[in-house]
Homo-oligomer: A and B are copies of this chain.
Amino acid sequence: MAHQKEATNRVEWKIRVADGSSKDLVPESGPAGRAWLGIQGLIAGLVLKVGRCFKKAWDLAVDDPRKVIHCLKVGTALTVVSLFYYTRPLYEGLGRNAMWGVMTAVVVFENTVGATLSKSLNRACGTLLAGSLAVGVHWIASQSGEKLEPFVNGASVFLLASAATFSRFIPTVRTRFDYGALVFILTFSLISISGYRVEKLLKMAHQRLSTIAIGGFMCILISILVCPIWAGKELHLLITRNMDKLAYSLDEYFNNSGIPVEKSQGYKCVLNSKAAEETMANFARWEPAHGHFKFKHPWRQYLKVGASMRRCAYCIEALNGCINSENQVPESIKQHLSGNCLRLGSVSSSVIRELAITMRTMKKSPRTQNLLKEMKNSVQELHNELGSLPNLLLPPPSIEATLPLEEVIPIATVASLLIEVAARIEGIVSATEELASLAKFKPAVERIAPH
């Protein structure tokens, strides 16, 4: 914002300078002069805006070069398909249906392999289903006489389009076959209004399907062979990264070990990644085996792990609020509790970090259960510590010296919330362990020698 303001100030300043000098030098500083200056200002503003836009785009490209690679892949796919049809012999053979190949390539090519596969298969199935239905209806319509024909056609379009549109509201269809339903409606109505005889229609259908198949196949090939981005792998990485971020957040609160603030705010990423996780899990189901992931990898379980992490993040967020409002706790109590809070915070983050290692190596870590036990012990110790606080509050000789309980409450709240965070971390552990057993992770080789 500050940058933008400065820039517009500079423009205004330029305009004023120009305005001042024009009065001295050029006689025509009337409405025409002012309009000219206005246009100059507009152009300068536009140039600045475009410049900022390019800067943003550049940052985006540097931040994730795979995006640039994806763009080049799309460009290549389109050019290949275009040139394929541009060479005359093929072009003559397939006629104007060539455009369907290009259209398929444009619409179907997505960022991840799973999305491309999902769209291609949806397009193929939708086209086939609608095509065969439409040819049937077309035949019925052509048999029913010239007067009735438009009505039969109109009614069939109305009914099937309405039904297919409704199906898009059904959750299963919405998440997996939405594009197929759209293509179904499109193909059916296009064939219905085409007005061809059935024989010609069959020939056209054959041509169109083959071009669509070539276009789709080209996209799938390029998206798998050239620097593929797998939705499944991305989901796996996202969950692993989010675990690291949660661990960082906990560390920062209880260690103050100089981790920069942006990193400690990592739990906010966890709070907001639900939509991304669902999209990726949905696309991952379409993908073949790749890397360490088999075809029927339990992608749905990743959503459960993600949900358990979000539950933990809610609690850290509340903890964040309490820490920020905590200010008047006597230093003695803070120190008394902070030892145990520190220990619980650090062992909690170790548990999450160990889970992240399990995910990263795809091997069951033998240390997780030990760390979990350690965490439970820390929780018990913190409980005991909280119970022994009254002794601190009451210096033995006189009751009058009692510290008001109010001053203990904030730090006790933090401790309680930390205990709740630990309970939710157990949820993450069990979700991750279920994932490990579903995905048949192998046990890791012990990193420390047994003796």
CB of A416 within 8 A of CB of B405, answer no
Given the known interface contacts A75-B165, A161-B78, A386-B405, the answer about A318 and B275 at a Cβ–Cβ threshold of 8 Å is no
- Kindly provide the distance from the CB of A380 to the nearest chain B CB, expressed in whole angstroms: 11
* B residues less than 8 Å from A165 (CB atoms): 70-71, 74-75
CB of B74 within 8 A of CB of A417, answer no
Whether A225 is near chain B, meaning CB under 8 Å from some CB there, is: no
Instruction: Select which of B82, B390, B404, B417 is within 8 A of A405 by beta carbon.
Output: B390
CB of A86 within 8 A of CB of B153, answer yes
Which of A36-44, A56-64, A294-302 binds B?
A: A56-64
Q: Which of A288-316 contact B (CB under 8 A)?
A: 311, 314-315
Report the Cα distance A83→B314, complex, angstroms.
55
- Kindly provide the distance from the CB of A261 to the nearest chain B CB, expressed in whole angstroms: 18
CB of A186 within 8 A of CB of B106, answer yes
Whether A420 is near chain B, meaning CB under 8 Å from some CB there, is: yes
Please encode chain A, from 390 to 402, with 1 for each CB lying within 8 Å of some chain B CB and 0 for all others.
1001100001001
Given the known interface contacts A274-B272, A409-B386, the answer about A321 and B424 at a Cβ–Cβ threshold of 8 Å is yes
Whether A234 is near chain B, meaning CB under 8 Å from some CB there, is: no
Report the Cα distance A102→B193, complex, angstroms.
9
CB of A185 within 8 A of CB of B78, answer yes
Given the known interface contacts A321-B424, A404-B387, A420-B322, the answer about A170 and B53 at a Cβ–Cβ threshold of 8 Å is yes
* B residues less than 8 Å from A170 (CB atoms): 53, 56-57, 60
Q: Which of A238-280 contact B (CB under 8 A)?
A: 271-272, 274-275
Report the Cα distance A38→B82, complex, angstroms.
49
Report the Cα distance A445→B319, complex, angstroms.
41
Report the Cα distance A170→B71, complex, angstroms.
13
Whether A68 is near chain B, meaning CB under 8 Å from some CB there, is: yes
Q: Which residue of chain B has the shortest Cβ distance to A190 in the bound complex?
A: B99
Please encode chain A, from 407 to 442, with 1 for each CB lying within 8 Å of some chain B CB and 0 for all others.
011101101110010011000000000000000000
Whether A91 is near chain B, meaning CB under 8 Å from some CB there, is: yes
* B residues less than 8 Å from A74 (CB atoms): 161-162, 165, 185
Please encode chain A, from 158 to 174, with 1 for each CB lying within 8 Å of some chain B CB and 0 for all others.
11011101110110000
Whether A381 is near chain B, meaning CB under 8 Å from some CB there, is: no
Whether A444 is near chain B, meaning CB under 8 Å from some CB there, is: no
* B residues less than 8 Å from A416 (CB atoms): 322, 409-410, 413
- Among A79, A153, A190, A424, find the residue whose CB has the most chain B CB atoms closer than 10 A: A79
* B residues less than 8 Å from A86 (CB atoms): 150, 153-154, 193, 195
Report the Cα distance A383→B157, complex, angstroms.
68
Whether A406 is near chain B, meaning CB under 8 Å from some CB there, is: yes
Whether A46 is near chain B, meaning CB under 8 Å from some CB there, is: no
* B residues less than 8 Å from A159 (CB atoms): 75
- Kindly provide the distance from the CB of A310 to the nearest chain B CB, expressed in whole angstroms: 8
8 new A-B contacts at CB < 8 Å, known A383-B406, A390-B402, A409-B415: A60-B170, A78-B157, A78-B158, A79-B158, A86-B153, A102-B190, A321-B420, A390-B404
- 5 nearest CB pairs, A to B: A387-B406, A75-B162, A318-B318, A413-B416, A75-B158
7 interchain pairs, CB-CB under 8 A: A67-B169, A71-B166, A78-B157, A82-B153, A311-B317, A390-B405, A412-B412
